[in-house]
Chains A and B, each alone.
Chain A
Amino acid sequence: EPEVTQTPSHQVTQMGQEVILRCVPISNHLYFYWYRQILGQKVEFLVSFYNNEISEKSEIFDDQFSVERPDGSNFTLKIRSTKLEDSAMYFCASSEFYRGTDTQYFGPGTRLTVL
C-alpha cells in the first residue's frame, strides 16, 4: 500500500542552525502538508502546498519556515534558524485532492531536537 515517507527519522541540531526535513508523498497525490506536534500537545497544522505554491499557512509558519518541491517526488520543510521551541515531531501528509472531504495520509514523522 502506498505510504508517505520521511527522512531523517531523528534530527539533532544546534540553535540557530538550518535544518531541512524531507518527505516523499504518495505518488499520485497533488496536495502536501506539514504538521507539527510538540511533546504532549496537539498536532498542529503548519502549511499546505499545491502546484508549487503555498495554499494555506498557519501563524506558526513564519519567515523562518519555507517549503519546496525540489523535484517530482520530494517535498521539503526548511527551518532557517532553529529555536529551542522548534523541537517537535514534524509530520508530512498528502492528499489526492484539496476538498474538506479528502483524507490526508501521514508519514512517520521526523523528531527534531534543537539544543
Chain B
Amino acid sequence: TQLLEQSPQFLSIQEGENLTVYCNSSSVFSSLQWYRQEPGEGPVLLVTVVTGGEVKKLKRLTFQFGDARKDSSLHITAAQPGDTGLYLCAGAPKAAGNKLTFGGGTRVLVKP
C-alpha cells in the first residue's frame, strides 16, 4: 500500500508570511496532484507535477516535485486570508493505472 504523509497537519500564520506544506512517501509516483478542498465540497485541482525536479508556479503558490518523485512541496509566498483552506496532495502510482492515493491534508489558516 502506498502512503502519502502530509506535514504539518495544521498551520496558522499571519497575513504576509510565507508557508510550506510537505507531502512525503517512500514510494515513487508517476505524478502528484495538489488540490484545495473547502468544507463540504470536492477537491479542486491546483496543479499536477509529473517530472522529477519539476517546479510549477501558480501566482504566489510554488509547487515542487522531488527528484526521485517520492515527495512534493507547496510553498505560498505572502499568504493572504483567501489562502485559508485544506490542501491535499494525491499521488498516482508508478505502475499503469490512475488510482489516486491521498495525503491526510494540511489545514492552513491565514489570519488578517
Contacts and interface: CB of A to CB of B under 8 A. Distances in A.
A99 B98 contact: yes
Contact of A101 (B31, B90, B95): B31
Contacts of B96: 98-100
A30 to B, nearest CB: 11
Interface in B24-63: 29-31, 33, 35, 40-45, 48, 50
A29 to B, nearest CB: 11
Given A55-B97, A99-B96, A100-B95, A105 B45 contact: yes
Contacts of A104: 33, 45, 90, 98, 100
A94 to B, nearest CB: 11
B42 A106 contact: yes
Nearest to A95: B98
A56 B45 contact: no
A107 B42 contact: yes
Contacts of A31: 98
Q: How large is the interface on B (under 10, 10 to 19, 20 to 34, 35 or more residues)?
A: 20 to 34
Contact of B92 (A43, A91, A100, A108): A100
A35 to B, nearest CB: 7
16 contacts: A35-B102, A43-B100, A45-B99, A48-B97, A98-B97, A99-B30, A100-B29, A100-B95, A102-B31, A103-B31, A103-B33, A104-B90, A106-B35, A106-B44, A106-B45, A109-B41
Given A104-B100, A106-B42, 9 more contacts: A33-B98, A35-B102, A42-B102, A91-B43, A100-B97, A101-B30, A101-B48, A102-B92, A106-B35
